Amino acid sequence: MSKPRKIVLILGNGFDLDLGLKTSYKNFWESEYCPKDYPAPIIKHLNSLNDDLSRIRWCDLENELLKYVKEGDKTDIISDEEQKYIKENDDYRLYNNAFFLGTDDPFRSLLNKGLIVQKGLGVRLLYRNDLLNSVQWRDKEALLLIENRLRDYLGQNQSVDINRDSSACRVLISLLNEHDAGSKVELFSFNYTDLSLLQRDSTDIPVQYMHGSCKDGHIIVGTRYDKGVGRDYDFLFKTIDADYHPPRIIDSINDADEVIIFGHSFGENDQPYFVDLFKDQLKNYQTHRKDVVIFTLDQESEQNIKRALDVMIDGQSMRLMTVNPPTIIKTSNLTGKDGWLFKDFLVKHGMESHDAEVVIGNILKKQAV
């Protein structure tokens, strides 16, 4: 009897998007859940990224968090005069200032910043207690707000109908079938969304979440460690979070016969998880050819992946592509070469050739709608 294969499936945000879930940074930023009005310099910095939200990936957000803490403008958006005004005026006084005085400069400036809002017949100052705290305190609170509101946003997003005629869904189903047939399948997710809706209760594959999950009630948002950041801002490091206990993904990748990566951008924060894989693919290509399949959206995302590969293997991606290249399948248009590669993938994982063609045809019909 042949030894069962070990397969590792790794999911990035592109997997959720392919399912039809609105989980991009743009989706979150444009929702009512995003704390765009919170009075912290770090929020002001992130708000400045809204010129082309469609191009911003979650890995870009992580890079921006590090960029902010190292070189961003941490000038308080609340002046000393405004803080003094807040201490001296309760909501009743603000109401009088709004409707009878109306000439106080601090009142007008807070109003222009969106921190004084009308409530019924009166007015209210948003985040009163927070405004009296330090910039560093509010930046830390802002990160907690992002985590909690993103968790809530993604939780409500789970009610969206999942596109079962999608490449992402068909890949997961093919791996469930491999699991049923006796292969050892491990599933790692860099996302926060609950995958239980896509699985079958009796034969599901346990999901190992890299940065927490909505299902567990806590998610981790942050950036990578940098020795140039002092303790006052190290709360931005994912590793500082008390719930940061990532699964042993590197060991699982090293032991796998096949590694399938769907919708992961190989951003700088996550590259350490994959460095050993691609360096080993380059170094030991004659003795150990591990199957590596990467699903990505289109030509632009494929180019970004190749740039990341070049970084991870010290500029030797040309050699990797010559001696032991990963299979890259672009899901945005499964015609031509990408369609044939996907068909080969489905057949390899137990599907009949005709059925694979039907599956791809259904995906293309759905994409055309």
- The DSSP call for residue 72 is S
Query: Which residue's structure tokens are 């599907």?
Result: 351
Tell me what pLDDT residue 73 has. Answer: 94
For 18, counting Cβ atoms within 10 Å of its Cβ (0-12 exposed, 13-18 middle, 19+ buried), the class is buried
For 38, counting Cβ atoms within 10 Å of its Cβ (0-12 exposed, 13-18 middle, 19+ buried), the class is buried
Tell me what pLDDT residue 319 has. Answer: 92
Report how far residue 347's alpha carbon sits from residue 342's, in angstroms, rounded to the nearest whole number.
9
Q: Which has the closest alpha carbon to 224: 267, 178, 192?
A: 267
Beta-sheet strands, E only, within the chain = 6-11, 116-119, 122-125, 184-189, 207-209, 212-213, 218-219, 258-262, 291-296, 327-330
Q: Which has the closest alpha carbon to 34: 22, 47, 48, 15?
A: 47
Contact 299, 336 (CB under 8 A): no
Q: How many Å from the N-terminal Cα to the C-terminal Cα in the chain?
A: 46
Contact 59, 267 (CB under 8 A): yes
Query: Which residue's structure tokens are 């940074």?
Result: 25
- Cβ atoms within 10 Å of 337's Cβ, excluding its own: 10
Strand, helix or coil for residue 194: coil
Beta strand 291-296 with 258-262 is: parallel
How many Cα atoms occupy the beta-carbon half-sphere of 59 within 13 Å?
A: 16
Tell me what pLDDT residue 103 has. Answer: 54
Tell me what pLDDT residue 1 has. Answer: 34
Domains identified in the chain and CATH numbers: 6-21+162-210+246-368 (3.40.50), 25-75+132-157 (no CATH), 80-118 (no CATH)
For residue 57, which phi and psi values (nearest 5 degrees)?
Answer: -100, 165
Tell me what pLDDT residue 75 has. Answer: 94
Contact 70, 234 (CB under 8 A): no
pTM of the model: 0.92
Single-letter code of the amino acid located at 275 = V
Strand, helix or coil for residue 339: helix
Q: Which has the closest alpha carbon to 277: 295, 302, 259, 303?
A: 259
Contact 228, 237 (CB under 8 A): no
Contact 204, 195 (CB under 8 A): no
**Mean pLDDT of residues grouped by 10 in the chain (369 residues)?**
80 95 93 95 91 85 94 93 88 66 72 82 85 96 97 82 90 90 94 79 79 92 92 95 94 96 95 95 81 96 95 93 94 94 96 95 91
Tell me what pLDDT residue 244 has. Answer: 92
For residue 5, CA distances in Å to 21, 183, 255, 258 come to 31, 5, 10, 8
List helix spans (H) across 239-335: 249-255, 275-283, 299-312, 317-323
Tell me what pLDDT residue 289 has. Answer: 78
